[in-house]
Amino acid sequence: MKVFTRWFGFRFAPDSIPAHLRRDPLAVVSSLIIMIMILSAIFAPLLTSRAAEGLGEPNPSEKLAPPSAAHIFGADHLGRDLYARVLFGGRTALGMGFLIVFGAVLIGAPLGAIAGYFGGWLDEVIMRVTDVALAFPPLLLAIAIASALGPNLTNAAIAIALTWWPWYTRIVRAQALALRERPFIEAAHVIGVGNFTIIARHILPNVLSPVIVQATLDLGSAILTAAALSFLGLGVQPPTPDWGQMVSTGRIYFPQRWWYVTFPGTAIFIATMAFNLLGDSVQDANK
Amino acid sequence: MLIYLLRRLLLAILVIVSVSVVTFFVARVIPSDPAALYAGQRPTSDQIAAARERLELDQPLYNQYFRFVRDILKGDLGTSYKTKHAILADIKTFLPATLELVIASTLMAIIIGIPVGVLAGAKHGGWLDQTTRILSIAGVSFPTFWLALVLQLFFFGTLHRLFPLSSRISNNVALFNSFPAVTGFYLIDTLLAGNFIAWRDAVWHIILPTLTLATYPISLTLRMTRAAMVETLSEKYITAARAQGLPERDILFRYALKNAIVPTLTVLGLSFAYSLTGAFLVEVIFSWPGLGKYVTDAIFNVDFPVIVAVTLIVTLFFVSINLFVDIIQAFLDPRVVLR
Amino acid sequence: GKTAAPATQQAVTEAPTAVPAQPAVLTIAYANTFPDIDPSTSFSNDGAVTANIYETLTRYNAPGSKDVLSPQLATSWKASPDGLVWTFHLRDGVKFHDGVPFNSAAVKFSIERTKTLNGGAAWIWGSVNNIETPDDYTVIFRLDYAAPLDLIASSGFAAWMISPSVKDKDGAWFNAGHDAGTGPYMIESYAPGARIILTKFDKYWGGWKAGQFDKVVLEVVEDITVRQQKIESGEADWTLQLPTENLASIGKKPDVKVLINPAFETMVGLFNNKKPPLDNQKVREALSYTFPYDTFIQTSMSGYATQAHGTIPAGMYGSDPSLFQYGLDPDKAKSLLAEAGYPDGGFELTMTYATGDSVEQQAGELWKAELAKLGITLNLQPMAWEAQWDLAKGDPVNAQDIFVMYWWPTYTTPYDFLFNMFHTEETPLFNLGYYFNANFDKLIDDANTLSGSDKAKAETMFQNAAKILVEDAASLFIFDQSSIHIIRSDLKGYVDNPAYSHVVFAYELSR
Amino acid sequence: MSLLEVRDLSISFSTSHGLFRAVNGVNLTIERGEIFGLVGETGCGKTVTGLALMGLISSTGRVTASRLSLDGLNLLSTRNWQNVRGRRISMIFQDPAACLNPTFTIGQQLSHVIRYHFHLDSAATHHRAVELLNDVGLSDAAHTLRTYPHQLSGGMQQRVMIALALASGAELLIADEPTTALDVTIQSQILRLLKSLRDKHTLTIILITHDLGVVAHTCDRVAVLYAGSVAETSSTVDLFRNPKHPYTQGLLGAMPRHGTRGKPLLAIEGSLPSGINPSVGCPFAARCPLVMKICRTDNPTLTPTENAHAIACHLY
Amino acid sequence: MALLEVRSLVKHYPVRVGLFSRRQAKAVDDVNLTVNPGETIGIVGESGSGKTTLARCILRMIEPTSGEVIFDGVDLLKLGQSSLRTKRRELAVVYQNPYLSLSPRLAVRDLVSEPLVTHTSLRGDALNDRVVENLEAVGLSADYLNKRSRQLSGGQAQRVAIARALVLRPKLIVLDEPTSALDVSVQAQVLNLLVKLRTELGFTYLFISHNLDVVQHLADRIAVMYLGKVVEVGTTDQVFSQATHPYTMALLAATPEPHPDRKASLVTVQGSVPSLTAPPTGCHYHPRCQWAVERCRHEMPALRLDEDRRAVRCHFPREYFQASKKFE
Ligand SMILES: Nc1ncnc2c1ncn2[C@@H]1O[C@H](COP(=O)(O)OP(=O)(O)OP(=O)(O)O)[C@@H](O)[C@H]1O
Ligand SMILES: Nc1ncnc2c1ncn2[C@@H]1O[C@H](COP(=O)(O)OP(=O)(O)OP(=O)(O)O)[C@@H](O)[C@H]1O
Ligand SMILES: [Mg+2]
Ligand SMILES: [Mg+2]
């Protein structure tokens, strides 16, 4: 469902995106947050003394312990330290996010390039397929795919990627279509450069930047959608730590044991927000 | 215009047919035994066999598909394997509930998102733009389920039962102020019955779920409108209109908005169609008996006929809304038709 | 606006005053919808609805009662010694809601309709070959094989008596909110997925006393937090499935009572007896010693459950409180594993459980940690129930190693547990641990035949059969579910009856 | 009194790379009823000068001047541009297709403007619209009113733009490269139209262009802009007969024309100086064939010579 | 022998008009053209007259509807894809806007070396040397090798485009309005460069422009196009001093010379270019021609070749030549 941000139009980037971003305080802040999240996901074991709990080892005696010095975020229903869980959950969230977006780009972008560049019946076929793919309610489709394939991390990522690729096809196709008409492509043709060299040298580098913009925006949505799937029990499976899964389990303890949903919920929010902010800035810069 | 419409209609039909084929066949590929499901919670072997025969599952797939299409054309969406309900009847119950919610949130998105987006876009970089930028990005970053919980806690807990937490009307109204279900939209049915107590109750119940559901489309509409406005306002015809001395209000809400509204409408239409099933988290949390919950349950139960039927209905909405938006677009922008 | 809010709220709460004499309303908050309220095919928590609208011939009594069964629409019944012919005498003067009198023809119609539709729990009548109606108030059943028809007739599913006037009506008619019962209540309105409102049937044969409820609201409140809010605020009189962690504090409130009773429901982890290494009894025994029963029950159930004594749940006919229980004993497990040739574990097991079932999931998580200590890797695989079942029914060699599920009886007999989960079958339907033992099969079949005539002897035989399963470590016997219901303290006459799980018989209640 | 007087007009934009000086101390005096040409190459500040006169410089820009007066009205202290735009000054642009709102018919756009400025009823508005279209040479006015911009040819679009600019009753029309996007044959039609409007309606026109040919045939007086300042200004005849500034000479020499075949053109080597860190001295110094020492240190001021001819060059 | 011979070239674009009908836009309609080695032929005409379409057909960037394009003895239109690719090394093109015709993400080095990499086995230092050599030929130094087109001024970028076109020493260079996007001062630089390269390397140019002044500066012969058809062909001097087609005369008259003394010509053109999909009957120019008579409305004049190899598509060329003389 979180797919609409991709409707903003794209133009060719006149200036370097990083330079623009440096001047946007929100972009700086969000990049910092993302860096911190990535680093803390990578170095999670070093940031907590309860790494085992973070990875899933139960500690029943501490069940639902409220936040305290020992558990700054409190403990979950199996007594695991929520701080450690949230920390390790970042690995899953970021991993899922990248996997989904990467998967969607991998399927969508080449199809879009082919459709846009070659045009004709190939374009027609590919675009009708994406029309159909878009007509499916995305979350419904993701749920169906995830429940058909069996719930786990990769399947959830595949399920979501399978509902997202058409957007990349559209973006890349629109770009390729516009590029195809550009004089520099015609110039390459006149020189006698072959089709695939043209795609590789002249089309792809120019398509990349809108795709990167879109991907940045989508990372936030990917994390959110993955969380929604996990919330339904179709995402990452316990004891693997996952924010959506934590909120889903913690929900029944709300509001008396507020900490259980609050910390992972906030983590999802912050991660999504950071990527969305960055994506938004990148998009602005790209205009 | 006519040929344009015909072409769009044809494409829409193509999409619907393809979706029906794909869902139908994919549903069959999901590893599960529909006969066992049909036979009930703890069926015996012969109940399963009987079910298989009854459902003609032993027939070739394409036969099953044609039978399915024939039934649909007769207005029969089939029967749920799990509950044995007539799906059409179920949808008549659940679709209006969801529609009521989704329409309410879409209206909110239009009423709040578009004007604020226009103003933010008009002074882009200004304080309104900066504030709404952060707010609307936050709005699309909230996990729905979390937002719902926070709203529940805030409005019910902190603000002491300002709004009810679940269901479409309260038990008291159902018991003592009931009204006939005509359209299935409670806000309308209560009015039709002239029952204002029930109407107020229904309004009161729809507020929290609508708020939860609307956060995303409001933010999205705002961002889209703003982006389109920024883009449109940089068009030369806007400078030209200013040079002609037209007042700013006219320029924003007449000249620019008409050109900037199309992407917003497209997105709003999509969001509307996707919310029909995508609202289910809200529906679960607010015990709102809607389509999303209905089909999600069906998915968990691998209840094919329901999945297929709902997918078709939603697709129907999807293509009709798209068609509608396209027509509006053609109406707003005379250049479109010629393409 | 802020000012408008209280006004409207008030209007809503004031609404009842518009009605002259305020009727007594019982509000029951369920966690799930009522999928099917056709009395012939209903086989889910919709029993909560049907039980107030329809009646059975006999009624299974709550544990602790003098008799196992008491009369309902039948006043007395008798089985032939071979258990093949059963005679029921019917109550006189009973009328269906539609005015049609209840008689033997109605019984014959009801059971035959159920058998014909062959949905839900219709198979409970599988033994019935022929139904005779010698007179209006006598019904004779002729069976193909011996079966405890008195127990069957008390079933909460598929045993309801239905007015013959609905012979052309199908499930859709019922599910549109119609009924055809003899019970104390009738459907007033039905908003699928939201609520069913019942109103009292004035001509109910049992008569009405002051204080009984005029209306019953069966509300669907899926959100656990909201259910808790509702029972605490008095918006609901009865509810279930609240977080067990909260029960202690809820129970302390004066307005609310937490009722904890045994439920005839048990959780098992079926070992795949056909697939190495679980085909080895020693391994199965070893695993039985690795499950953290107490921790699990304390952690996941907050102590509101008891470790199972074999497969027959505590408190039920056939249960045996003295039956051996495995406990968490890693040393013993280690030595058993060594005997079996796995001194350091070194194998992987896959456990499937139903997606979204957090209790099953926690069982897996806790067990996984214990098994890891013995060098055994437990892969947790949540699956849609249907898919999980399909996987188990396929080739046992490819099936999951451990299939965690709950079992409860359709009608209350130990045979239901023993037969379904452990009796040899050509193509197993629920014996998904592929446990095959000819002696065991014979023992329970004989006990079943005998149970119509000699309940006491049959019970011993059932207990012996249950013991065989424990000795063979046929399955992991985890816990017996408690039935936990939360009611308002001012509700009078409420008795929990595990034979009709989660059913509230509103007729018995008053405020 | 002159219609428009501009003294020391400077326009700068804050950009990501620093302050960009688009216009540096431009002086212009425009008499009532004349067609005044503003010529110069890309980026020399023609358009922004025009926009500044209407208060249309975007928020990142800053306009300063010592005097900016329109018929006695001090534009520098104007709060309400609404009374200036359209009513006093109108502007048309290079690309008529992009300057007409694609989603409204010509009639709608015209009547918006007429109604806003004159508060006429709809019949009178319609009448006025038809009249305007006839004035700009669109004979089938009734039909044109009902069409959308994209249904018109480029020349017709530019005529409509002119009608729109006149609709509000302005006395000064700033025409920013009104013919650059059009074919020569259409260009000559439009230029003819502008001249006739000047004659018939006593319109004053500032014609912005980069084409000296257009200036030669249309304008009464002209200013040559280079890098944001006026290099030379005089009557048109004088400028072409007797170009003084080396830049003007260069421009004229760079134009291919009948008889240049086979001879090299006089190309001005190099390119425009950057507006961000302008060097001291004459902005043209780096490209000037006649550069002197003083040119690199001192920026020449616009100095009047005979015949109302003024040159900003140390040579004079 | 002619280097390039275009025979009866036709290009129709299908265009959807109105509800159900499709029409053909005759963008290039029966064009014949000869280009001799070493000569520069200029093509002028208003926007939409089919100049670019003609060029693209010659380069076979689009498939013409019919006709022949004999280049260097072979009909390009009959070549298969691979032989066409080989043949392309002999053809090159320079477009109007260098920023649009140069890949924005590629450095000058890659841009100029692309033709070499495609058609020769030159790599490494040899390749680099060749690139530098050609850059110097267009007046750019090796400093520019690593710049991207955006970092160049318009004149510099157009020089890169020209370097790219000439690096393989093609037999024919098509220049499609190579200076229209440039300022006069920069245009002069580029025109001078083109002249210099032509003298030094003996290129043949097909030079397209809508600006008569620019064309006459460069071209030996000029073809004037109107609505997809060539209406007049002649040497530059012939066309300029003795235009025979009313349209050519109108073009000449409308082209403003930077001289205030030249009085506006009395030859004027009314109206605008008619639609290609519904061209006027008879002579396409008749609705705008001040001398049109009944015959012009019905009969399309043929392209007549006269004694000194001039061609004109007009029923009464001489008469108007006389008439225009009178007006000077
Ligand atoms: N809003 C702005 N922000 C930053 N720089 C600007 C802005 N508007 C114009 N400029 C710069 O000011 C300079 C002058 O611009 P202007 O549009 O007046 O040039 P011009 O003379 O009209 O050129 P052209 O012939 O290309 O139209 C240019 O270098 C341009 O890039
Ligand atoms: N792909 C196309 N499909 C349909 N019509 C086209 C296409 N390309 C060009 N045309 C039409 O063909 C005609 C000739 O176009 P062309 O680009 O050749 O003109 P031109 O003489 O180069 O004009 P300009 O001076 O504007 O570059 C125009 O009317 C144009 O609209
Ligand atoms: Mg300009
Ligand atoms: Mg062209």
Helices marked H in D136-262: 141-146, 154-167, 184-201, 212-218, 236-241, 246-254
What is the per-residue pLDDT across C134-185, written as a single tens digit (0 to 9) for each?
999 999 999 998 888 998 999 999 999 999 999 899 888 898 899 999 999 9
Burial class of C13 by CB neighbour count within 10 A (0 to 12, 13 to 18, 19+):
exposed
Residue B265 CB partners (closer than 8 Å, separation 6+): B325, B328, B329
Q: What is the mean pLDDT of residues E263-281?
A: 73
Please check whether residues D31 and D158 belong to one and the same domain: no
Residues of D in contact with B237 (CB under 8 A): 98-102
Minimum mean pLDDT range among C279-288, D222-231, D249-258: D249-258
Q: Half-sphere exposure of residue C120, counting CA atoms within 13 Å on the CB side?
A: 32
The dihedral built from the CA positions of residue E260, E262, E268 and E269, taken in this order, carries a sign that is negative
Please give the residue that has the higher pLDDT: either E188 or B167: E188
Would D234 be classed as within a structural domain?
yes
Question: Over 80: is that where the pLDDT of E326 sits?
Answer: no
Domains defined for chain A, CATH in brackets: 82-285 (1.10.3720.10)
- State the pLDDT confidence band at D18, using cuts at 50, 70 and 90: confident
pLDDT in tens, chain A (287 residues): 233 333 333 333 344 566 667 777 888 899 999 999 999 999 989 988 888 888 888 888 888 899 999 899 999 988 899 999 999 999 988 998 999 999 999 899 889 988 988 888 899 899 888 888 888 877 777 777 777 777 778 888 888 888 889 989 988 898 888 888 888 898 888 888 888 888 888 888 888 878 887 888 888 888 888 888 887 777 777 788 988 888 888 888 887 888 998 999 999 999 999 998 888 888 777 65
C503: Cα within 13 Å, side-chain hemisphere: 25
CATH number at residue B215: 1.10.3720.10
**Per-residue confidence (pLDDT) for residue C349, from 0 to 100:** 94
In a domain, D103, yes or no: yes
Residues 40-79 on E with a CB inside 8 Å of A are: 56, 59, 61
Name the residue among D41, D154, D156 with its Cβ closest to that of E183. Answer: D41
CA of D160 to the centre of ligand 3 (A): 20
Per-residue pLDDT band for C316 (boundaries 50, 70, 90) equals confident
Residue D64 in domain: yes
- For the domain that residue D20 is a member of, what is the CATH number? 3.40.50.300
Minimal CA–CA distance to E168: which of E204, E208, E125, E116?
E116
Of ligand 2's listed atoms, the one at least distance from the Cα of E53 is 18
Encoded tokens for E295: 């015959």
Q: Which chains touch C (3 or more CB pairs under 8 A)?
A: A, B
Task: Enumerate residues 302 to 331 of chain B having a beta carbon within 8 A of any beta carbon in chain D.
Answer: none
The predicted-structure confidence for D150-208, as pLDDT tens digits, reads as follows: 888 888 999 999 999 999 889 999 999 998 888 888 888 899 899 999 988 889 999 99
Tokens of B163: 């709004």
Give the bridge partners for E229, in sequence order: E226
pLDDT at C17: 44
Cβ(C226)–Cβ(A252) below 8 Å: no
Residue C3 is predicted with a pLDDT of 35
Pair D256, D178 in one domain:
yes
What percent of chain C clears pLDDT 70, i.e. is strictly above it? 96
pLDDT at position B24 is 81
Q: What digits encode the pLDDT tens for the residues B173-217?
A: 888 888 888 888 999 999 988 888 999 999 999 999 999 999 989
Clarify whether residues D220 and D246 are in a common domain. yes
Is residue E320 over pLDDT 60? no
**In this structure, what token pair is assigned to residue C286?**
């070893």
Residue E182, classed as helix, strand or coil, is coil
Q: Tell me the CB-side half-sphere exposure of residue E299, using CA atoms within 13 A.
A: 10
- Residue A9 CB-half CA count within 13 A: 16
Nearest alpha carbon to residue B285 among B185, B164, B148, B172:
B148
pLDDT digits (tens, 9 = 90+) for C377-425: 999 888 777 778 888 888 888 899 999 989 888 888 899 899 989 999 8
Q: Pairing relation of β-strands C377-383 and C348-354?
A: parallel
E18 falls in which pLDDT band (50, 70, 90)?
A: low
Atom of ligand 2 nearest to the CA of E11: 12
Q: Closest partner residue to A147 among B277, B300, B315, by Cβ?
A: B300
Q: Is the pLDDT score of C337 beyond 90?
A: yes
Q: What is the ipTM of this complex?
A: 0.82
Alpha helices in chain A (DSSP H): 17-22, 25-42, 44-47, 51-55, 82-118, 120-135, 138-149, 153-180, 183-191, 195-198, 204-231, 243-250, 258-286
Q: What is the pTM of this model?
A: 0.84
Ligand 2 binding pocket, CB closer than 6 Å: E 13, 15, 25, 27, 45, 47-53, 210, 276
**CA torsion through residues C261, C263, C264, C267, sign:** negative
Per the CB < 8 Å rule, is C197 touching B174?
yes
Query: D103 with D76, same domain?
Result: no
B97 residue type, one letter: A
- Only one residue has tokens 């035949």, namely C449
**Cβ neighbours of E211 in D, within 8 Å:** 184
DSSP E148: B
Does E touch B (3+ CB pairs < 8 Å)? yes
Lowest average pLDDT, out of A160-164, A265-269, B31-35, C187-191, goes to B31-35
Report residue E272: phi and psi, to 5°. Answer: -120, 180
What backbone torsions phi and psi does residue B84 show, to the nearest 5 degrees? Answer: 65, 10
Convert the pLDDT of each residue in D288-306 to its tens digit.
Answer: 888 899 998 888 988 888 8
| Structural domain boundaries in chain E | 4-219, 244-328
Q: Could you tell me the two tokens for A63?
A: 């069940």
Domain that includes residue D146, residue range: 99-169
Question: What integer pLDDT is reported at residue B123 of this predicted model?
Answer: 87
D114 within some domain: yes
| Interface membership of E151 toward D (CB under 8 Å) | no
Ranges of beta strands (E only) in D100-187 are 172-176
In the predicted structure, residue B300 carries a pLDDT above the cut 70: yes
Within-domain flag for D20? yes
Confidence at residue E147, expressed as pLDDT on a 0 to 100 scale? 87
Helix (H) or strand (E) holding B265: helix B257-278
What ligand has the least distance to the C-alpha of E93? 4
Record: fold of E4-219:
Rossmann fold (3.40.50)
**For A243, nearest residue in chain B (alpha carbons):** B143
Q: Write down the pLDDT at residue A3.
A: 33
Q: Are D49 and D123 found together in one domain?
A: no
Domain span at residue B125? 98-294
Q: Give chain D's domain count.
A: 2
Which residue in D39, D139, D189, D141 sits closest to E46, CA to CA? D189
For range B234-242, the mean pLDDT: 90
Phi, psi dihedrals of residue D267, rounded to the nearest 5°: -85, 135
Answer whether E92 touches A (CB < 8 Å).
Answer: yes
Q: Which of B306-310, C23-27, D236-240, E160-164 has the lowest mean pLDDT?
A: B306-310
Both D80 and D180 in a single domain?
yes
Q: What is the pLDDT of residue E318?
A: 64
Q: Report the candidate in D29, D61, D67, D30 with the shortest Cα–Cα distance to residue D47.
A: D61
Residue D194 lies in a domain: no
pLDDT score, position C430? 87
Indicate if the pLDDT at residue C361 is higher than 60.
Answer: yes
Report CA dihedral (B278, B284, B285, B286) to the nearest 10 degrees.
Answer: 100
Cβ–Cβ gap A190/E102 under 8 Å: no
- When pLDDT is cut at 50, 70 and 90, the band that residue B1 belongs to is low
Answer yes or no: is pLDDT of E80 > 50.
yes
Q: Is B280 a domain residue?
A: yes
Q: How many CB pairs below 8 Å do chains B and D form together?
A: 79
Structural domain contains residue B51: no
pLDDT at E321: 53
Give the residue on A whose Cα is nearest the Cα of E52. A183
Highest mean pLDDT among A77-81, C108-112, E208-212, E258-262: C108-112
Please give the distance, rounded to the nearest whole angstrom, from the Cα atom of residue E187 to the centre of ligand 1: 20
Domain count along chain B: 1
Instruction: Classify the C-alpha dihedral C128-C130-C135-C136 as positive or negative.
Output: positive
Q: Which tens digits make up the pLDDT trace of E41-73? A: 999 998 889 999 999 999 998 899 999 999 988
Question: Of D273, D292, D311, which residue constitutes the final position of a domain?
Answer: D273
D58, D176: one domain:
yes
Residues D62 and D179 in one domain: yes
- Please tell me the total number of residues recorded for chain A in this structure: 287
Tens digits of residue pLDDT in A144-202: 777 777 777 888 888 888 888 998 998 889 888 888 888 889 888 888 888 888 888 88
- CA gap B71, B103 in Å, rounded: 30
pLDDT at B158 over 80: no
| Parallel, antiparallel or unpaired: strands E91-94 and E172-176 | parallel
Look up tokens 């609240």; give the residue: C242
pLDDT over 70 at B33, yes or no: yes
Distance CA B46, CA B38 (A): 12
Q: Which of residues 287-306 of B touch C (CB under 8 A)?
A: 287, 289-290, 293-294, 297, 300-302
Whether residue B17 is contained in a domain is answered as: no
Q: What is the mean pLDDT of residues C467-479?
A: 94
Contacts of C501 (CB under 8 A, 6+ apart): C47, C156, C263, C264, C265, C408, C483
Q: Where are the alpha helices (DSSP H) in C153-289?
A: 171-175, 224-233, 244-251, 281-288
Q: Per the structure block, which two tokens stand in for D118?
A: 């004159």
